[in-house]
Structure 1
Amino acid sequence: MLLLVAVWFFGEWRSGARKNQAEDRRSVAERKSGEEGAAGEVERAVGADEREGLARLAARERTEAEWRDLLRRRLERRTAREKEAIVIFKDDEAYRKFQARARAAGFFILRESAKLRAARVRYDTIAAVQQEVFQHVRDYEEIGANAFVDRPVRPVIEEDGRALAVRGELLRVLGVGAAVDRSQWGRGVIVAVLDSGVAGDAAFGSGRLRAVDVGLGLSPGSGDDDGHGTAVASIIAAGAGEVAGVAPAAQVVSVRVTAEDGRSDVFTVSEGIVAAVDAGAKVINISLGGYDTSVLLTRAVDYAEAAGAVIVAASGNDRMTMLAWPAAEARVISVGATDAAGRLAGFSNVGEGLKMTAPGVGGRAAWLGGERVLFSGTSASAPVVSGALAAVMSQKAGRSGREAWEILAARSDDAGAPGTDAEYGAGVLDLGWAMEGNPARVDLAVSSHWIERTADGAAGVSVVGGASGAGEVVDVVVQNRGGFAVAGAVLEIEAGGVKSRQVVPVIAAGASAVLKVPVDRIRVDAEGHWVLRTVVVAPGGMSDAVPENNERVSGLRVK
């Protein structure tokens, strides 16, 4: 019976090892193939009763060997801390029993989280873990590796000559005018930064920065990258000097989650989320990521959600079509990176579930020792969104982080493919629009020029500043970023030197319309390029609030 429970336990295990399941099945199938040949020899040598008994025994031994091997492979990973495990218990009684027997069973408890009913442990041998789980399998919800959660690799911006750095122009890039009074943005909102620790800096003024200890101390280390957390916090809330934070009145709680080796892990990040919530944070920024997860992280997100806190996380800098964890968690606001022109950064991870993009190329930020640096990556994009959430929350008493997120998503700049997509999510953050309270605002914008890729990913032409594809039509996306529906706008088109006009359909506030412009493939093939220029013109009598976004020019070239 105990073996059956163990089999069920591993069958239902919700560890981040889902990507290894196919490999597990293949390994099991290969072992079974070899075992079946031996079983045939045994069957011919014994009678029916003996065969039945031996079959049951062989099945039991085979199943036990398989789950022991599965457990070993789940724990012994290069992407996790060596000889460490995360142990998650089904109830408080199971947790207490484990505490009592842990050392005798070959475990040393490194950290505990009573609120998550979990422990981070070091084990003596894999055999000790296997024995413990086999004997007490009913006590566990999960036992798995303590996977690394790291600072995203610093992108080398010079590799992409098209990327336009933000530098000290973050607020302008976000659509916030120089005359706007931001002094109260973020007031009353606590934003937690789970990172390498945040150093005191003149940019934070006095009384707005404090720290919470989860076993790694209150201050940053002195390594080359230990200014990471300070840079992240300055983007959120710097209020003075050369760095202009998004929410200069917000409170910052620093939770250092990186160890002396510069790395964090799933247990520490989960513990940090709980600590941030307990410190009153309603926005939690995590500019870290990894490619494995755990039920523990799900529990931590549950804890934050129950307290009304939202989590913002970097999508990753690995040019992958998948999001890093915790950004990949469905309830987390995952953020990719764009440059100062709103174009997707080449290093930014994309994929299903990406929520938004924000500036993350060469923005000015604080560092250790009062230094100022140009900071790039989705590590820089995530705090832009965290600061924006704090700013929107501070506009109205009692506004939740989730309500603020809905405003940011609804008022983001549509980019890439029309509507929500895997590269830009809901769009590029437009804080000026999100904070705009004028229902009479008029703002029509040409959001993007888009050529859809073919099913096999082949591309015949590329749109500079847009997307690649082999389609014969460019989708011109016109977005209404104003406060009311607009009818009667016109799109002026110059395609390869040929001028035309199209009437823009009625567009509701916040919505987009797609107008199609045929590609002159004969000219593209003959000359190797083709230029498309579009300008949206508001109906007569309307004054556009942001005329700079009325026009877009794209160069198409043969790939």
Structure 2
Amino acid sequence: MRMRSICLFLAGVYVVGAAAGSAVAAEVESDWPAYVEVQGVQEFSGRMVAGLGVEPSDRSRQRAFDLVAPWLVRLVPETEEYLFNLPAGITENEMAAYLLTAGDFAYVEPDWIVYPLECPDDARFGSQWHHAKVDSCAAWDTEIGRTSVVVAVCDTGVRTTHEDLSVYRMEGYNAVDELWESQGGAVDDINGHGTLTTGSAAAQGNNGVGVSGMGWQLSHRMMRVSNSSGGGASLSDLAHAARTAADTGDRVASASYSGVSNMTVESAGRYVMSRGALLVWAAGNDGVYLSVDHEHVVVVGASTSSDVKASWSNYGKGIDLFAPGVDIYTTTRSSNSSYGSASGTSLSTPLVSGSLAMIFSRNPALTAEEAEQILYAGCDDIGEPGEDDTYGHGRLNLNNTMAAVNKTYLDVWPIPAYSSEDIHFDVSAGDPLAETGVYYSLIGVGSTFITELGVSVELDSAQAAGPIQQTDAVGSTSWTRVLPRVNRSILAWIQVVQDTGRLSNTALIQVNPPR
């Protein structure tokens, strides 16, 4: 009966506006999310997105459709989302509370207008210090990138004739107008931001001019998400751009925009990953802790040349890794040969996107999930030992990442670990049907010969963390063990080795006393 009364009120809103709106406000629960716009960061657009979540029933789909049908703009079948106009007389918070109360939606949020993250031009034209920091030159000894691997840059456009961007540029797409470049879709840089980020990810290298992206021969595609000179874009257009890129076969979609904590971003990331690609998003430049931790999106913070968090970079549980983001020298839109320095998580993000493209260049058969784990395995550990709530997996290292591409991958979880509780060791990308062991050291890296397998691990005084077992047909296996009791926090280095000689990455974890 309660729900029927709310439906009647909303039907009234469609006709009579504000009077019914106040009635809905009185009916809805008071503990639903409260959305507040921040000028220049994320602003209300007059539209909202409602998502059904994973595997809804047909009955739930129908009820959900009936609820938003009068205001529907479009259904996004790829992600089970409804984009609809906010009816007159109702606030975003009132509408979200009403739809969530109905019980058929997993989330309801504004279709925020979000903005390119602040990247002011620096009058000082500096060198690309970030390549030395992430050890790019050593990585390029083994891989320079393939033109068949495309980074889709979801941004404000690109200077299509720039000397460092024109050779490996793919046909662009205008996500606002839903037109490919060949159909008349505008992709020229309307703001300047997109040329900065494109160069950071994929500027042509070793060509005698300008700068280099993360690979010398990576292809790039501009997915223009804004037709405004200010660069503002709706989250729905950004999500559409990322999905379209993945459907086209691009392996990485890069978004240097605000708004990362919204579920629209996670929904887009889930779809992109289902298509064998990865969505990379900027953490933001507000200097705040991010608690929303997306499972299907790579979120990037900004570090300085001293390997510490830039003062303005967001950080926290929601960050997967950091990359250089201060005074990054890159392409600009001023002319076909213009360059400049800029700062922001906007610049850190394409460095990671380009690095993921390098992983796919080295091994195009990798799944999105495998490429993501290889990215993390190659990070330099900064901050607290192991994965932490400030720096995530650490700071990007391209050379380590390239070295990890052909290694077996070890994932240890949960982090942090507590004694007397279960810990899991998951192995992937190993040799199939091979005898495999997992080992730990409380001392550090070194070398220990494993008699049972006839090979050595890169650990000092290594001990077995579980029994030797065989990988399956795709090179995977796992162990679940109970950690022994400790009275103080200790560090443990963990590595997997196979009788074929293949080694995994080395994982560093902290084991804490019982909770």
For 2:171, give the aligned amino acid.
Answer: R
- Alignment root-mean-square deviation, CA: 4.5
Conserved? CA contact 1:480–1:507, under 8 Å: no
Corresponding position of 2:171: 210
Quote how far apart the aligned CAs of 1:365 are: 0.8
Corresponding position of 2:280: 312
Corresponding position of 1:279: 248
For 2:49, give the aligned amino acid.
Answer: I
For 2:243 and 2:62, the matched residues in 1 are separated by 21
Conserved? CA contact 1:165–1:361, under 8 Å: no
For 1:331, give the aligned amino acid.
Answer: H
For 1:363 and 1:478, the matched residues in 2 are separated by 38
Instruction: Decide which of 136, 146, 163 is 1:176's aligned counterpart.
Output: 136
Instruction: Decide which of 138, 147, 152 is 1:192's aligned counterpart.
Output: 152
Q: Give matches, 1:37-116, under 5 Å.
A: 65-67=25-27, 77=37, 79-87=42-50, 102=70, 107=71, 109=73, 113-116=76-79
- Greater alpha carbon shift after TM alignment, 227-236 vs 72-81: 72-81
Instruction: Decide which of 211, 216, 228 is 1:243's aligned counterpart.
Output: 211
Question: What whole-Å deviation, never above 9, does each CA across 1:370-416 have from its counterpart, x for those lacking one?
Answer: 32110211111111111111112211240223212212212211111
Which structure shows the bigger proportion of residues in helix conformation?
Answer: 1
Corresponding position of 1:510: 506
For 1:383 and 1:350, the matched residues in 2 are separated by 18
3-state DSSP class of the match of 1:248?
Answer: coil
Quote how far apart the aligned CAs of 1:128 are: 11
For 1:125 and 1:256, the matched residues in 2 are separated by 30
For 1:204, give the aligned amino acid.
Answer: L
Distance 1:126 1:480, change over 3 A: farther
Distance 1:2 1:362, change over 3 A: same
For 2:277 and 2:106, the matched residues in 1 are separated by 25
Distance 1:416 1:299, change over 3 A: closer
Question: What whole-Å deviation, never above 9, does each CA across 1:97-126 have from its counterpart, x for those lacking one?
Answer: 689x63xxxx483x6534345454444512
For 2:299, give the aligned amino acid.
Answer: S
Conserved? CA contact 2:146–2:218, under 8 Å: yes
Question: What whole-Å deviation, never above 9, does each CA across 1:146-171 have from its counterpart, x for those lacking one?
Answer: 2232222347999xxxxx99732332
For 2:285, give the aligned amino acid.
Answer: N
Instruction: Decide which of 398, 402, 406 is 2:365's aligned counterpart.
Output: 398
3-state DSSP class of the match of 2:111?
Answer: strand
For 1:115 and 1:439, the matched residues in 2 are separated by 33
For 1:270 and 1:510, the matched residues in 2 are separated by 35
The answer to whether the aligner puts 1:425 opposite 2:389 as a matched pair is no
* Structure 1 unaligned spans of 5+: 11-61, 159-163, 441-476, 489-503, 515-559
Distance 1:2 1:319, change over 3 A: same
Corresponding position of 2:410: none
Corresponding position of 2:321: 356
For 1:341 and 1:409, the matched residues in 2 are separated by 20
* Aligned residues between the structures: 392
For 2:88 and 2:325, the matched residues in 1 are separated by 44
For 2:89, give the aligned amino acid.
Answer: I
Corresponding position of 2:295: 330
For 2:325, give the aligned amino acid.
Answer: G
Conserved? CA contact 1:84–1:145, under 8 Å: yes
For 1:116 and 1:389, the matched residues in 2 are separated by 24
Conserved? CA contact 1:247–1:391, under 8 Å: yes
Conserved? CA contact 2:386–2:509, under 8 Å: no
Quote how far apart the aligned CAs of 1:184 are: 3.8
Structure of greater Rg? 1
Question: What whole-Å deviation, never above 9, does each CA across 1:329-384 have from its counterpart, x for those lacking one?
Answer: 23211111112232322221111132111111111111113321102111111111
For 1:168, give the aligned amino acid.
Answer: Q
For 1:438 and 1:112, the matched residues in 2 are separated by 39
3-state DSSP class of the match of 2:112?
Answer: strand
3-state DSSP class of the match of 1:211?
Answer: strand
3-state DSSP class of the match of 2:199?
Answer: helix
Corresponding position of 2:465: none
Q: Give matches, 1:437-476, under 5 Å.
A: none
Instruction: Decide which of 385, 389, 409 is 2:356's aligned counterpart.
Output: 389
Conserved? CA contact 2:168–2:217, under 8 Å: no
Corresponding position of 2:231: 262
Quote how far apart the aligned CAs of 1:285 are: 0.9
3-state DSSP class of the match of 1:405?
Answer: helix
Q: Give matches, 1:14-33, under 5 Å.
A: none
Corresponding position of 1:485: 458
The answer to whether the aligner puts 1:414 opposite 2:381 as a matched pair is yes
Quote how far apart the aligned CAs of 1:219 are: 1.7
Conserved? CA contact 1:232–1:379, under 8 Å: yes
Conserved? CA contact 1:358–1:429, under 8 Å: yes
For 1:114 and 1:72, the matched residues in 2 are separated by 26
Conserved? CA contact 1:192–1:255, under 8 Å: yes
For 2:34 and 2:404, the matched residues in 1 are separated by 52
For 2:446 and 2:198, the matched residues in 1 are separated by 29
For 1:5 and 1:189, the matched residues in 2 are separated by 54
Question: What whole-Å deviation, never above 9, does each CA across 1:263-292 have from its counterpart, x for those lacking one?
Answer: 122222222222121221221111112275
Conserved? CA contact 2:138–2:399, under 8 Å: no
For 2:377 and 2:257, the matched residues in 1 are separated by 26
- Greater alpha carbon shift after TM alignment, 274-283 vs 118-127: 118-127
Question: What whole-Å deviation, never above 9, does each CA across 1:25-56 have from its counterpart, x for those lacking one?
Answer: xxxxxxxxxxxxxxxxxxxxxxxxxxxxxxxx
For 2:271 and 2:139, the matched residues in 1 are separated by 40
Identical columns (%) = 23
Corresponding position of 1:456: none
Corresponding position of 1:380: 347
For 1:383 and 1:187, the matched residues in 2 are separated by 17
* Structure 2 unaligned spans of 5+: 11-21, 178-184, 408-441, 448-455, 462-490, 496-504, 511-515
For 1:485, give the aligned amino acid.
Answer: E
Conserved? CA contact 1:197–1:254, under 8 Å: yes
Instruction: Decide which of 212, 217, 233 is 2:198's aligned counterpart.
Output: 233
Conserved? CA contact 2:242–2:253, under 8 Å: yes
Give the TM-score taking structure 1 as reference length: 0.59
For 2:325 and 2:370, the matched residues in 1 are separated by 24
